[in-house]
């Protein structure tokens, strides 16, 4: 199989780059894949392909840019030239741009591939029905929200034109099957990026590091985290360092810089900026707790899966997709009220002060992460591509709900 993967890819700052990296890293080791055609966005620096020599050939085709109106034509041209046997899209609704037209045009690509007869799977990390448009920084205008939801319905149908649409949360599958009467939606878990050897769960000497990791400024806010740590410092003797790792959300440029200025008086506050892939293990490994200072969610959390992979305790809000992940995949954490610094302070303090509780959460999350490694997830995609090829050769339509029931048996 010559597999084309359409995704943003490091060192790109576009959303889902980390997931794209690990898709490529693990698909290249699948014996059925003879070549990966990586159809990715343009970056000044070279793409991060620092894998060992094991695995299939990887051909990089940098051809698109965030908010480029011509992305649909550029990507379509590369697919036509490279003639892949199958295509996997790594998508969310703002994948190709935060402007309406380029974002919409990009999401038409799965339908274009399907019309060409190329077996096509679209991995959809979020659905608009579950996105808080105001908290996500898209619009707070109620009328515009209705317009966006209407446009979202159309765009969802474009993506559903794929042979298979993969979602990472069962709730998404239920919504798409019910609202759109779709029979091609598959539940494929997010998977854990890495499964390092089990850590010893002891913390390094020095201050206890409290980590927040991601793209900040819309529904991910650092203010509540900083204020919560300041509350803990007033009532305990804990030596705590706050580590904010990552960049601004594309919708809120300058947010982290404004936070640096606002909290210059706060001690032991570190803003790391963009974190290179090779630095991620150290970042998580040195942390005592990983915090999710979210006011809403927009899909399955890669950061939660990473925290589990490195055996870390987490403090998270009991809302949306995070709550579903905890229930469905076995992760554990200390919950807090989403917009309450006092509640977050209690959650973090419970973990930092009670070392046995921190270790209990860390071990549970490591077990949850190990249960669904990314190698297994990519194998599931391979099996679905095989079923698509079989359906094509036999002339029947693949019915995912029936197939899933048969596989469960």
User: What number is the average pLDDT over the span 380-392?
Assistant: 91
If pLDDT is split at 50, 70 and 90, which confidence band does 25 have? very high
Chain region(s) in the chain for CATH 3.40.50.2000:
2-191+373-400, 208-371
Determine if residue 179 is left, alpha or beta; phi over 0 gives left, psi from -120 to 50 gives alpha, anything else beta: alpha
Architecture of domain 208-371: 3-Layer(aba) Sandwich (3.40)
- The whole-number pLDDT of residue 409 equals 39
Cβ neighbours of 211 (radius 10 Å): 24
What does the alpha-carbon distance between residue 319 and residue 336 come to, in Å, rounded to a whole number? 10
User: What number is the average pLDDT over the span 382-387?
Assistant: 94
Residue with tokens 């974190």: 275
What does the alpha-carbon distance between residue 84 and residue 91 come to, in Å, rounded to a whole number? 19
- Nearest by Cα to 165 from 191, 180, 186: 186
Q: What average pLDDT does the structure give for the chain?
A: 89
The more confidently predicted of residues 297 and 210 is 210
Lowest mean pLDDT among 207-216, 292-301, 395-404: 292-301
User: What number is the average pLDDT over the span 20-45?
Assistant: 95
- What is the percentage of the chain residues whose pLDDT exceeds 90? 62
- The whole-number pLDDT of residue 386 equals 92
CATH of segment(s) 2-191+373-400:
3.40.50.2000
- The whole-number pLDDT of residue 361 equals 96
The more confidently predicted of residues 113 and 195 is 113
Contacts of 2 (CB under 8 A, 6+ apart): 33, 34, 35, 37, 82, 83, 84, 85, 86
- The whole-number pLDDT of residue 94 equals 82
Strand partners, 294: 220
Apex CA 296: angle with CA 261 and CA 71, to 5°?
A: 85
If pLDDT is split at 50, 70 and 90, which confidence band does 141 have? low
User: What number is the average pLDDT over the span 69-95?
Assistant: 95
> What is the SS3 assignment for 271?
strand
**348 phi and psi, to 5 degrees?**
-65, -40
pTM for this one?
0.75
pLDDT digits over 330-378, tens only? 889 999 998 899 999 999 999 999 999 999 999 999 998 888 889 999 9
User: What number is the average pLDDT over the span 205-221?
Assistant: 92
- The whole-number pLDDT of residue 138 equals 56
- The whole-number pLDDT of residue 263 equals 96
398 has a pLDDT exceeding 90: no
If pLDDT is split at 50, 70 and 90, which confidence band does 132 have? low
Report residue 222 CA to chain centroid gap: 19
- The whole-number pLDDT of residue 1 equals 94
User: What number is the average pLDDT over the span 240-267?
Assistant: 93
Tokens of 52: 């060992």
Residue with tokens 């029931």: 405
- The whole-number pLDDT of residue 397 equals 78
């Amino acid at each position: 199989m010559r597999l084309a993967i359409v995704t943003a890819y490091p060192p790109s700052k576009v959303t889902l780059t980390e997931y794209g990296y690990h898709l490529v890293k693990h698909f290249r080791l699948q014996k059925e894949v003879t070549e990966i055609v990586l159809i990715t966005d343009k970056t000044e620096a070279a793409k991060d392909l620092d894998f060992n020599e094991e695995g299939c050939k990887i051909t990089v085709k940098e051809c698109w840019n965030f908010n480029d109106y011509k992305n649909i034509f550029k990507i379509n041209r590369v697919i036509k030239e490279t003639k892949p046997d199958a295509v996997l899209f790594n998508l969310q609704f703002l994948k190709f741009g935060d402007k309406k037209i380029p974002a919409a045009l990009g999401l038409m690509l799965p339908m274009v591939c399907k019309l060409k007869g190329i077996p096509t799977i679209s991995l959809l990390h979020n659905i608009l029905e579950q996105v808080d448009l105001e908290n996500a920084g898209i619009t707070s205008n109620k009328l515009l929200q209705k317009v966006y939801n209407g446009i979202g319905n159309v765009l969802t149908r474009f993506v559903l034109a794929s042979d298979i649409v993969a979602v990472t949360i069962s709730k998404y599958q239920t919504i798409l099957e019910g609202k759109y009467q779709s029979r091609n939606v598959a539940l494929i878990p997010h998977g854990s990026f890495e499964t390092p050897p089990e850590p010893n769960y002891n913390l390094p000497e020095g201050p206890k590091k409290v980590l927040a990791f991601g793209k900040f400024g819309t529904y991910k806010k650092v203010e509540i985290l900083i204020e919560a740590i300041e509350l803990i410092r007033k009532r305990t003797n804990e030596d705590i360092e706050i580590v904010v790792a990552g960049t601004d959300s594309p919708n809120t440029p300058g947010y982290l810089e404004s936070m640096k200025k606002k909290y210059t008086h706060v001690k032991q506050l570190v803003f790391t900026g963009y974190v290179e892939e090779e630095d991620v293990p150290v970042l998580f490994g040195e942390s005592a707790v990983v915090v999710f200072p979210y006011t809403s969610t927009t899909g399955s959390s890669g950061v939660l899966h990473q925290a589990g992979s490195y055996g870390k305790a987490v403090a998270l809000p009991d809302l949306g997709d995070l709550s579903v992940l905890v229930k469905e995949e076995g992760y554990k954490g200390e919950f807090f009220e989403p917009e309450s610094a006092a509640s977050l302070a209690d959650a973090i303090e419970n973990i930092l002060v009670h070392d046995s509780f921190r270790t209990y959460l860390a071990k549970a999350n490591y077990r949850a992460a190990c249960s669904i490694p990314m190698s297994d997830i990519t194998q599931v995609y391979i099996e679905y591509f095989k079923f698509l090829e079989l359906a094509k050769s036999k002339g029947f339509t693949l019915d995912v709900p029936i197939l899933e029931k048969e596989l469960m048996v």
